Amino acid sequence: MNKLLQLARTIVQPSQVYLSLRDAWQAQLGESPERASLLVLLSQWSLETANGARCMNFNLGGIKHVDGDGCDYCEFLTVEYKNGQPIRMMLPFRAYPSLEAGAADYLELIRKRFALAWPAVVTGQTADFAHLLKLQGYYTAPEQDYAAGLARCYRALDAAVPPDTKPELPADRSESLNKEASAVGEESPEPPAAA
């Protein structure tokens, strides 16, 4: 039986999330991920949790709880968009006992439930990732805002998180990210922390 847990702010550093996502990828897929793939996932974590400042109960992607999902949960106030208007509401979100558990469930959810968006993770394309997640109903914020936020987070995290032993991001990728951000209007206001 899923339990309602007390809300707990679980602040972790981007490098810790990066390593946890890498380990979850290796455990689930039996291979080492490319840095660009991890940065796409890390960018979503950053966008959904205000770079970790609003990460609750190790929920890395603002994953909502539904009956039967097999996860404990917590409830907190968030912003959802209805008919293009932001509305604050209390909703249940999945809750995890550790960063490793949160990373494993987040990666599995993206790979399986939001599989349409998985190829964009593999290729490291933030704009495609945002678009395909929107098509599958992952978030309610305006797509333009969400995509711009992902691109902005990607650039910041690429500079902030030390590279590991995996191949580096191709040199021409930053130019591509700048074009993606321009195409989706990077100057748009940031979407809500939890979509």
Instruction: Determine contact, residues 56/69, Cβ cutoff 8 Å.
Output: no
- Domains, in order of start, for the chain: 14-57+99-183 (1.10.530)
* Burial 146-162, CB ≥16 within 10 A → b, else e: bbbbbbbbbbebbeebe
Written as tens digits, the pLDDT of the chain (195 aa) is 789 999 999 999 999 999 999 999 999 999 999 999 999 999 999 999 999 999 999 999 999 999 999 999 999 899 999 988 999 999 999 999 999 999 999 999 999 999 999 999 999 999 999 999 999 999 999 999 999 999 999 999 999 998 763 433 333 444 544 454 445 444 333 444 444
- pTM for this predicted structure: 0.82
161 CB-near residues (< 8 Å, 6+ apart): 14, 15, 18, 39, 42
Partners of 9 in beta bridges: 56
Beta-carbon neighbour count of residue 189 at 10 Å? 10
Q: Which two tokens stand for residue 161?
A: 């998180």
Look up tokens 């394309």; give the residue: 125
